[in-house]
Amino acid sequence: MTKRYDFDEIIDRRGTASEKWDKYRERDIIPLWVADMDFRSAPEIIEALHERVSHGVFGYTAPPEGLAQAVIESLQGEFGWQVQKEWITWLPGLVTGLNVACRAVGEEGDDIITFTPVYPPFMSAPPLSGRNVINVALSCEDGHWGLDLDALERSVTSRTSQLLLCSPHNPVGRVWTLQELTALADFAARRDLVICSDEIHAGLVLQEGVRHIPIATLSPETSRRTVTLLAPSKTFNVPGLGCSFAVISDDTLRRAFRKAMGRIVPHVNLLGYTAAEAAYRHGEEWRRELIGYLRGNRDLVAREVATMPGLKVFPVEATYLAWIDVRETGIGDPVRFFEEAGIGLSGGADFGLPGFVRLNFGCRRALLAEALRRVRVALEGVARG
């Protein structure tokens, strides 16, 4: 296959107010922390944005006519999921969606379950909404992260009203199987729970032979109790444009969700809409090449880390985030240690599991190789004492 896109191109992000790069503005630290990629968006997205900007009038904007249709076709094509236009609610961010879902269901004082380690807003959204969070630890056996269904059964209370699912899972990189999702859906049905499923990484499955299944597609009954949160932001690298959406098939649940949004959640930025439509309509070829490139990066991380003293990395089935166990190194503050060695990572403690770090490999390969070289040098220093 001839390649159309150059993911190895050096693009200087310094001076663009990039969160990822500005954090270490004054220091020689390669930023592999917050989850955006260093790649330029698909040319079709950039072109659509140019065209919209050159119009020059930026008034209040409704979702463009063709956007819902582009999303519907994409969900049908990718997952065989038949979504109706009225099921879609536009949101300026997925974290907003998580927080709205927590407020929309049940009452203050209710319990909401999530699986840890997990992207931090899953743990903060319930308390921010006057609910309690119940953290159920994922299991990890023989280097494989999984759902601990016994712990899940034990965790549920008479006040449990909702389950927050991260699917695929950030940070452990799992794509939940049909069997796992069915067990969760059965559990939710037995306990009459709403499922809020964050599927922001659905378009970033890297593992050959593995496919993402939206939990809402398991059955009409599961669909009725599910809020699915989606966005083009991770897949097409447009998170700064803030355009996401919730898919809710049940009228009552959707009304409750929209009511909880109230007048607090702002409109989606009009450029976010523009980028989203271009991404879903024209971004597929770019996405396919991106997946190929990310697989190469994922394999490089796996190969290198496997031979580093004290580190263990887990298979990344989806996302561009590697979850690494550093406990055997005996390093007390891994984020600081790696920063001092010139690599900026995310700390596991923020995800509810100290002793781990998360490495974002959504960058050009030469930079990743240099970061991994620095990690190796630093660890060899530790091993030498």
Ligand X SMILES: Cc1ncc(COP(=O)(O)O)c(C=O)c1O
Binding string, residues 214-233; x marks residues near ligand X by CB under 6 A: -----------------x-x
Least distance to ligand X, CB of residue 17, Å: 16
Residue 331 within binding range of ligand X, rule CB under 6 A = no
Residue 166 within binding range of ligand X, rule CB under 6 A = yes
Residue 239 within binding range of ligand X, rule CB under 6 A = yes
Residue 335 within binding range of ligand X, rule CB under 6 A = no
| Piece of the chain touching ligand X by CB under 6 A; list 50-58, 90-98, 219-227, 247-255 | 90-98
Residue 123 within binding range of ligand X, rule CB under 6 A = no
Residue 115 within binding range of ligand X, rule CB under 6 A = no
Residue 95 within binding range of ligand X, rule CB under 6 A = yes
- C-alpha 59/C-alpha 369 separation (Å) is 45
Binding string, residues 169-208; x marks residues near ligand X by CB under 6 A: -x---------------------------x-x--------
Residue 83 within binding range of ligand X, rule CB under 6 A = no
Q: Which is nearer to ligand X, 198 or 325 (CB)?
A: 198
Q: Which is nearer to ligand X, 314 or 337 (CB)?
A: 314
Q: Which is nearer to ligand X, 274 or 329 (CB)?
A: 274
Residue 93 within binding range of ligand X, rule CB under 6 A = yes
* Rg (alpha carbons) of the chain, rounded to whole number: 21
Q: Which is nearer to ligand X, 125 or 308 (CB)?
A: 125
Q: Which is nearer to ligand X, 35 or 363 (CB)?
A: 35
Residue 338 within binding range of ligand X, rule CB under 6 A = no
Distances (CA, A) of 255 to 36, 228, 328: 32, 15, 49
What's the gap between Cα 80 and its chain centre?
21
Q: Give the number of residues in contact with ligand X, rule: CB under 6 A.
A: 13
Residue 244 within binding range of ligand X, rule CB under 6 A = yes
| Piece of the chain touching ligand X by CB under 6 A; list 89-97, 215-223, 327-335, 369-377 | 89-97
Q: Which is nearer to ligand X, 233 or 235 (CB)?
A: 233
Q: Which of 94, 184, 265, 357 binds ligand X (CB under 6 A)?
A: 94
Q: Which of 7, 33, 115, 119 binds ligand X (CB under 6 A)?
A: 119
- C-alpha 220/C-alpha 215 separation (Å) is 11
Residues that bind ligand X (CB under 6 A): 35, 93-95, 119, 166, 170, 198, 200, 231, 233, 239, 244
